[in-house]
Structure 1
Amino acid sequence: MMVGPEAPSYIEVPQSIQPDLPRRPQLKGTLPVPRELFPANRPDKPTESYISDAAPLPSNTTLKVSPDHPQYERLQWKQKMAENRRKNLREGLLELHERKKNSHRRMVARSNTRENLRTQIMNQPPRKDELLTAPTTVSAMKPTKCKVLPNPGAEERLAQSIVKVQEAQAAKREDMMNSLHELYVNAQKFIVNEEQLKAELERVFPDKNNPDWANGRRAGDSIWNLGPPPTMSSLAYQTKDELTKWETVQRRTKRLAEELTGGKI
Structure 2
Amino acid sequence: MPPPIPPISIQCSHCRTFTTSARASQLRPENPAYISIPTPPQQNLPYRPFIKGRLPVPRDVFSGAEGRDKTSNDFLDPLTKGPLRARQPQAGSREEWKGKMSEMRRQNLREGLVGLKARKERVGNTIRSRGERNAREREAAVHAAEREDERLTAPSHGLDLEALKAGFEGPGVRVDPGRAARIARTRTNVASANTLAATTRAQHLNHLYTHARSFIINSTQLDAAVDDAFGSAENPVAFGRNFGVPDQGVGSVWAAGLPDRVQDLLNRDLGIGGPKAMDAAGGKVERSRERMDKLVEVMTGGRGGIEEDRQ
TM-score by length of 1: 0.40
- Please tell me whether Structure 1 or Structure 2 has the larger radius of gyration of its CA atoms: 2
Instruction: Select the structure with the greater relative contact order (CA < 8 A; seq sep ≥ 6).
Output: 1
